[in-house]
Structure 1
Amino acid sequence: MKVKGGKRMKQKKISLVMIMSFVLIVLGGCSVSSANTNKGVLDKESIYSGTYATNEVINVLSDKEWKITFHNEDPNTYTIANISATDEKIGEYKVYNVKAKEINGEGSPFAKLEGRDYIFTKDEEGLYFIVISNDTILDHTAGIVEGNDPDEYIKDNAKYRFQKN
């Protein structure tokens, strides 16, 4: 015994599944990428020169790799550093780990072999980095989360500052 409308019901289910799949694909494509909204993400092929407490130059090779050289030094002296977001955040700022993966010549105090954690912000004038360590995290968290202007706090307390070339 055949049930009338069985074929029609099957077509409706298939249509519903296709419509739902389409909606999920469209919504997924419209979502905002976190890489575009995170503060501190640097543009590929950008170059930044140290302006405060460092004479280093950052050449952004990719989202995850920087070449760090020194002003007026041998071009064969450089550090290749890996950049990775950690699972930590201070307020709205992600904590990034900067770790030297290759050192040729003198090592960089900014990108060490053992790695260093930073939060940073950027504006039209440059980049501002604060070192995050067990000794500083409580003070920086209070200054950023409880302060009136977290960007200004980072700029005022940045150990490493770079100007975009």
Structure 2
Amino acid sequence: MEAKYLKDNLGCLTSCLKEVAEKRPHDPIEYIAFWLRKHVENARLKAKKEEEAKQLKKEQEEEALDKERRAKRLEEARRLSEEEAARRKAEEERRAREAASASKLPVVEEKEEPDVEAPPTTDSAEVSGETAGEESESKEAEPETEGEQTGVTEEGDTTEADGDKTAEGATTDEPSEEQPPAEES
């Protein structure tokens, strides 16, 4: 026999016999039977309480896991809603920027260029016999109206009415507007 079995089952008999010797009941066999029934009932109650304690502990652990899962789900739902709100806000800002940038752009209308041809002009400087240097000085002194004497149209293109004009709109004899005329000392 094993020691644990003897201790659990026969160890209680020693306690029972000890009580019988101390109390000296009228019927010791009946007392021992009653005591053993009570002992078995107590053992069952103790096992039941241990089982309930294990079950309670297991339920508490499951509840803690469920609570943790719910917290994670809530956190994820909150995070997803924040991401969705941020995405919506970014989309609205992008749309607002597009609308603002689209409204800030000037309206471009295509204008038809007038088909009016400029009458051929003669260079008055050549007729009067002035030199090229004197001609540029006289042109600088004259007030020019925009688009008539310079040969510039409204769109900023140059007309080629004069044969001396280059693609930039300056004559070969005239100094360019970008470069200041050379000063003579």
Length-normalised TM-score, structure 1: 0.31
Query: More strand per residue: 1 or 2?
Result: 1
Which protein shows a greater Rg?
2
Q: TM-score, normalised by structure 2?
A: 0.28
